[in-house]
Amino acid sequence: MFSLLLIVALLACPVLSFAQTNSNSKEPAPRIHTDQSVVVGAHLTPEEVEDGKMNDIYQPIYGFEREGNCDGIIETARSAVIPAAEQATFVSVRNKFLFLSYRGIGDCTFKAKHYAEAEETYLKAVEYADKDDSSYAINFESIALCRMAQQQISGAEEPMEKAVSLLGDEIQRLKMSDTYKKEDFVTNAVRMDQDTAMNYLAVLRFRQQRYPEAFTLLGRAYDQAIKFQAPTHTVELIVGTAREIALAIGDDAENAIWMKRAPISN
């Protein structure tokens, strides 16, 4: 049951999806068409010009992401984007594209189940991450998941706790209100990220046989997910994890509680 629950958590991990984006993430901007470049270019700062050039180098990776082509992502990042980014004049441009590159390589390496290599790559990404962006926190979540996959349970605790805490700080910084507002979509996206991180931390607590803490975390994640209208798959992930833990340890009371909560679709 321990390995089953870990597999469920890892396979459901949203940070490994090529399609995932965050409204607050520092991704390359769309390319400017040739007929726009003369007019727009006159108003660009040197930093923006360099960012645009790096963006052009990075562009092929978008196509590889849509195709799920990890070989293309890794090859382009290593052979083109990283060398160019390392020569960038502006620190912000350098860090942005090195982070995106190492993050992409890490996701692909994790997908290939090369967990030790993925962990090393995520640790490199941390060096270049924007600390005011939720992607910084999610990187620690990824490091923790790599360690969990390698059965390094004690080593996974600190980065997963850090991910939950940093995402909480980000919510406090961004939030418009303590009640649900549709227009507060950036904060709600970060809340969803924190829900997922709390779910994984609960899995970790389960592996550590700290069962009451696991259910407390899952209760927090579930309440926040419901209050702020998280996507159904997030709610189902939390409920499914709680039910698996309850069944694994034979806790009939907790199982009864979670059986009454949002059902899991087949």
Residue-range definition of the domain harbouring residue 241: 2-16+47-259
Q: Is residue 146 part of a domain?
A: yes
Asked, for residue 36, whether it belongs to a domain, the answer is no
Q: How many CB atoms lie within 10 A of CB 209?
A: 8
Asked whether residue 133 is domain-assigned, the answer is: yes
The whole-number average pLDDT for the span 23-52 is 60
DSSP conformation letters of 12-62: T-GGG-TT---TT--PPPPPPPHHHHHHHHTT--HHHHHHHHHHHHHTHHH
Neighbours of 206 (CB within 10 A): 26
pLDDT in tens, 145-196: 999 999 999 999 999 999 999 999 999 999 999 999 999 999 999 999 999 9
Count CB-CB contacts under 10 A for residue 36. 10
Task: Report pLDDT for 67.
Answer: 95
Residue 9 has pLDDT above 90, yes or no: no
Confidence at 42, pLDDT banded by 50, 70, 90: low
Nearest-10 Cα torsion for 91, 124, 74, 195:
-100
d(C-alpha 215, C-alpha 128), whole Å: 34
Is 37 inside a domain boundary?
no
Q: What pLDDT is stored for residue 23 in this prediction? A: 37
Half-sphere exposure (Cβ direction) of 182: Cα atoms closer than 13 Å: 0
- Tally of structural domains, the chain: 1
- In a domain, residue 208? The reply is yes
Does residue 148 form part of some domain? yes
pLDDT digits (tens, 9 = 90+) for 63-97: 999 999 999 999 999 999 999 999 999 999 999 99
Question: Do the beta carbons of residue 111 and residue 139 sit within 8 Å?
Answer: no
104-145: pLDDT as tens digits: 999 999 999 999 999 999 999 999 999 888 889 999 999 999
Decide if 206 is inside a domain. Answer: yes
The pLDDT of 37-46, averaged and rounded, is 65
φ/ψ (deg, to 5) at 125:
-60, -35
The per-residue pLDDT of the chain, averaged, comes to 86
% pLDDT > 70, the chain:
82
231, HSE (Cβ side, Cα atoms, 13 Å): 10
Q: What is the pLDDT of residues 235-252, one digit of tens each?
A: 999 999 999 999 999 999
Spacing of C-alpha 161 from chain mean position: 14
Q: pTM score, two decimals?
A: 0.82
Q: What is the pLDDT of residues 215-224, one digit of tens each?
A: 999 999 999 9
- Read off the CATH number of the domain in which 112 is found: 1.25.40.10
As a whole number of angstroms, the distance between CA 178 and CA 193 comes to 17
Write down the pLDDT at residue 212. 97
In a domain, 266, yes or no: no
Question: Can you give the pLDDT at residue 20?
Answer: 37
Q: How confident is the model at residue 5 (pLDDT cuts 50, 70, 90)?
A: low
Residue 21 clears pLDDT 50, i.e. is over it: no
Mean pLDDT of 25-42: 44
